[in-house]
Amino acid sequence: MQTERGLLELDRQRDGGFFAGRGPGGVGDDYEFVLDDGERRPDPCSRCQPGGLRGPSRIVAPAELTAGTRRHPVALSELVIYELHVGTFSEAGTFDGVIERLPALRELGVTAVELMPVATFAGEHGWGYDGVYAYAPHPAYGGPAGLARLVQAAHDNGLGVILDVVYNHLGAGSDAVEAFGQYTTSAETVWGRAMNFAERGVREWAIQNAEMWVQEYCIDGLRLDAVHAIVDDSGEHVMAELARRVKALDSSVLVISEMEIGDLSPIELWGHDTQWEDSLHHAVHVLLTGEHEGYYAGYGKVEDVGRELQRPEGRRFVVCAQNHDQVGNRAIGDRLRGRDLRLAAFCSILSSGTPMLFQGEEYDEARPFQYFTDHIDPEIARKTREGRRGEFAAFSGFAAEEIPDPQEPDTFLRSKLDPNQGDTDHMRYYRDLLEIRRGLPDEPATGVHLDEDRRLLRFTRGPINCVANFSDREQDGVPPRSGKVLS
């Protein structure tokens, strides 16, 4: 191992999987591993990569950064999530930039912020799902110290922090990590080679990473990305083992999964608290937009919404009007706006599911959230650009020249939230919805009445009678003659 203080020889341990050595060094020192071929590589479990993917690793002590910080447990029955992307949430695009708006989020009525992945990835900006150094908070966001400040500030504002983590593949530039062992297999996911969880060392790489976020950064919950893409034939699925070990540290830590529609393995078999569920979003979206292509096929009736509102154990499913996928994976990243957005929020927030808001929707953000990358390797950049265009080739209404280039800086800059937003009627509507929700029982909708011809849906949630008008015209009895009308 090459350090600032010289070359340190590491000896293979008896089990053959680990090397160890002792020498001078401390917090703030940079180091690299020197492999048998003489190549220098960062630590695959590096806690800090100040120079990005190819720079040396740096010794940090995250536990010292968060000394005095305690977790802020949020009960599932009280969970209202606000999903945000650190790089576009503020003009600064940093952890500190998020801190400035935490009081407003608390006042809005959310109880936890969910950070899209922050592990170090290629370049300065990206969605974060192609991370390489899973243990190292992205340097452009503020690194370990910045994340520690954000967690502390969120807890000071009465908000929990949920971190989006990715264990289904490694991002572009992962050759430096894979030089240390067989981290991946020949099996392919949509995003790259699948992780090799048959290897104990790779399992520990993922599970100990989850444990680190909880132990050293006082993270209150983990959102596990696309667990359906994780192949593991072990007796105990790696995502079940991860949940078990994380909850052994603190049973209040939330484990949330993204899983394909209809597969309940995370909550029924793996011990996870809740999982993303897109069916309500799809049902509402098709009624509002008339879009039927791709995964929207099969929806289009009011009864689709009614069915989702009656789902038992709703709290175990995260529902939304919008999220990063449903906006950013549209060809031009356009959002629901105005009345359509308010109606979608009405259905998700007043459902019995666990509601999640996506950054900006609370004030009706007009700017898009597009797919952006900053790959350094020109070949990877070319493939990313062509892949994005090819993804929408089968969709009517989109020509290749209309698809934003992920590598263009303007694609990233267009996706930053508008900083000049005041207290609008739309925002007050969201606050009212969230206030009403706090008084509702934890049970599914009852008294569901469907009118397909008039595109009306009526349902009851506790003491609240709800009416959703999916038509484009005013209708008799909507809104009702008595009671409070939100929109």
Give the pLDDT confidence of 446-460 residue by residue, as tens digits. Answer: 999 999 999 999 999
The one-letter amino acid code at 218 reads C
* pLDDT tens per residue, range 358-406: 999 999 999 999 999 999 888 889 988 888 887 776 666 666 558 899 9
| Residue predicted with more confidence, 372 or 54 | 372
Q: Report the C-alpha gap between 114 and 85 in whole angstroms.
A: 9
Running DSSP on this structure, what letter comes out for residue 182? -
Non-local CB neighbours of 420 within 8 Å, separated by 6+ positions: none
- Using left for φ > 0, alpha for ψ between -120 and 50, and beta otherwise, residue 210 falls in alpha
Residue 159 reports pLDDT greater than 90: yes
Residue 205 reports pLDDT greater than 90: yes
C-beta atoms surrounding 408 within 10 Å: 14
* Residue for token pair 């993204």: 258
Beta strand pairing call for 30-34 and 40-41: antiparallel
**19 has which bridge partners?**
12
Would residue 422 count as lying in a domain? Answer: yes
Q: Report the C-alpha gap between 479 and 456 in whole angstroms.
A: 11
Q: Report the C-alpha gap between 229 and 258 in whole angstroms.
A: 10
The pLDDT of residue 398: 64
* % the chain with pLDDT above 90: 75
Catalytic residue among 83, 114, 130, 225: 225
Of all helices (H) and strands (E), which one includes residue 12?
strand 11-12
The confidence band for 481, taking pLDDT boundaries of 50, 70 and 90, is: low
The pLDDT of residue 191: 84
Helix, strand, or coil (residue 454):
coil
The confidence band for 48, taking pLDDT boundaries of 50, 70 and 90, is: very high
Running DSSP on this structure, what letter comes out for residue 117? P
Of all helices (H) and strands (E), which one includes residue 112?
strand 112-115
Catalytic residue among 164, 258, 340, 365: 258
The pLDDT of residue 37: 87
Would residue 40 count as lying in a domain? Answer: no
Would residue 29 count as lying in a domain? Answer: no
SS3 of the chain: helix, strand, coil, percent, to 5 = 35, 20, 50
258 is catalytic: yes
Helix, strand, or coil (residue 384):
helix
CATH of the domain at 255: 3.20.20.80
Q: Residue 165: which of 111, 208, 102, 200 has the closest Cα?
A: 208
Give the residue-averaged pLDDT of 433-441: 96
C-beta atoms surrounding 336 within 10 Å: 22
pTM for the model: 0.95
Would residue 457 count as lying in a domain? Answer: no
The confidence band for 320, taking pLDDT boundaries of 50, 70 and 90, is: very high
The token pair that represents 137 in the structure block: 């908070």
323 is in which domain, residue-wise? 70-443
Q: Report the C-alpha gap between 193 and 346 in whole angstroms.
A: 40
Which of 4-18, 40-54, 225-239, 343-357 shows the lowest per-residue confidence on average (mean pLDDT)? 4-18
The pLDDT of residue 345: 98
* pLDDT tens per residue, range 93-120: 999 999 999 999 999 999 999 999 999 9
Give the residue-averaged pLDDT of 263-281: 97
Would residue 309 count as lying in a domain? Answer: yes
Q: Report the C-alpha gap between 260 and 228 in whole angstroms.
A: 6
The pLDDT of residue 478: 67
Give the residue-averaged pLDDT of 212-230: 96
C-beta atoms surrounding 78 within 10 Å: 13
Would residue 437 count as lying in a domain? Answer: yes
225 is catalytic: yes
**133 has which bridge partners?**
120
State how many domains the chain has. Answer: 1
Q: Report the C-alpha gap between 390 and 190 in whole angstroms.
A: 14
Would residue 222 count as lying in a domain? Answer: yes
* pLDDT tens per residue, range 142-154: 999 999 999 999 9
Would residue 37 count as lying in a domain? Answer: no
The pLDDT of residue 184: 87
The pLDDT of residue 390: 77
Q: Report the C-alpha gap between 470 and 457 in whole angstroms.
A: 8
